[in-house]
Amino acid sequence: MFTELLLCLVVGGLIFFLVQRNRSQVLTTEDGWWGAGAPPDGGEDDSIRPFKVTTSEEELEDLCRRIDLTRPVASLEDSQFQYGFNSQYLQKVVSYWRNDFDWRRQVDKLNQYPHFKTNIEGIDVHYVHLKPKRVPEGTSALPLIMVHGWPGSFYEFYGMIPLLTEQSNPDDLVFEVVCPSIPGYGFSEAPHKKGFDSVCAARIFHKLMKRLGFQQFYAHGGDWGWLVTTNMAQLEPKTVKGLHVNFAPASKPGLPMALSIMLGNRFPKLFNFTDVDIQRLFPCMDKLVVESIKESGYMHIQATKPDTVGRGLNDSPVGLAAYILEKFSTWTSKDFRNLEDGGLTRKFSLDDLLTNVMIYWTSGCITSSMRFYKENFAKGLDQPHSKIPVHVPTGFACFPNELMHTPRLWVKQKYHQLLTYTPMVSGGHFAAMEEPQLMAEDIQLFTKIVEKKK
């Protein structure tokens, strides 16, 4: 009896030690300098400068001239979007862009919210910062940083911003929203040196939020924004009050995940798998491999030789539009590959899609945006942040047409304080832009739970 008790105490103590050691893990990082040349002797300019999106008449004339000089290529018969962007439909999109799209009006729309720039670690960081007009008496606005991915931009969040900064219901929380452009994207300056990865972006955004006066804040992200905000939570878990994501690819497999892959199809209840989990996770292996090949070609290019393809896309607006908009088709729903128009306007307007393309074109950022893949993958998949769990309260919005399905069990392997896991009725990879109402509601749900717990 004594031996059994002693064994229990030893095993229990070992488990407690391992859990506590795991809990104490925090991602570490060092300041960098990403500006051209060496850091100045006088230190960093920490001023905040108002910014407006502008485009000169010469730039627009150059764009039109390049569009007019495009050389169409005929698509194969009955190929829809299965070979990429259908060339016949691309001509229609280009015609709309050239003749009907009103960029001046879209610039006004972009400038409806206040934009700013500030220099951090040698590069100018662009962000949108909107404070709520009215805050309910006895409460305060909650700071929230929202981070985009590729090939998106800060513009993805424009449909969500008014839903978060204004009350729809009396019990709604209101947020003070900050939407930065990842360095190398949109109107944020591109790093001039090698090595700028998601952890560097996370460190810079922490500095941005501190510069704005926020000691604690919430964070939301999808696509690369998922990894940047996750790194923010790993770097300073006491600063990030809550983390909300809508993309969470399976992290390094542990024993529960491995067992669920082997046995989940036969014993779904054992792993709390739903019917959706079974449908998304257990098609035949051939289908999984083929689907992966169909949709991952861009990633191999960008993770190895981004500057090569980037040069061509930076010269050709039509090529750039095809490259970016094809993702807004297939990543919204893989079934859109079977449609002549790629289903582009089923969930988005051409005005919104082309506005996102114009952000890439006018800033000339396509090459630097793709380098983010190179910098993150160049260090391998076994980076320090991949081994460190997240102990910040977390909410996950599970959209049915997301590129990778992650069941609750797998999300909890990485995010140990998973407070909400919401299966959404519709939406794909660009969920913030496609389903702003659903996303805003889920952020409200998650944040209310965190605030109530606190």
Residues designated as active site: 223, 373, 429
Q: How far apart are CA 32 and CA 120, in angstroms?
A: 9
- Say if CB 356 and CB 324 are below 8 A apart: yes
* Spacing of C-alpha 227 from chain mean position: 7
CA distance 311 to 306: 9
Closest CA to 430 of 335, 325, 292, 299: 325
Cα–Cα distances (Å) from 325 to 63, 137, 173, 317, 339, in that order, read 17, 44, 34, 12, 14
Q: Which neighbouring-strand residues pair with 120?
A: 123
Strand blocks (E) in 201-357? 217-221, 240-245
What is the DSSP annotation of 258-275? Answer: HHHHHHTTT-GGGGT--H
Using CA atoms, how far apart are residues 127 and 118, in angstroms rounded to an integer? 9
Say how far apart CA 163 and CA 172 lie, in whole Å.
Answer: 10
Rg from Cα positions in the chain = 23
The token pair at 57 is: 């008449």
Contact 149, 222 (CB under 8 A): yes
What is the side-by-side order of every strand in the sheet holding 48-51?
Answer: 48-51, 115-120, 123-130, 175-180, 142-147, 217-221, 240-245, 394-398, 418-423
- 130 membership: H or E segment, kind and range: strand 123-130
Cis peptide before 50 (omega within 30 of 0): no
DSSP state of 182: P
The answer to whether 127 touches 181, Cβ cutoff 8 Å, is yes
How many angstroms separate the CA atoms of 82 and 261, rounded? 30
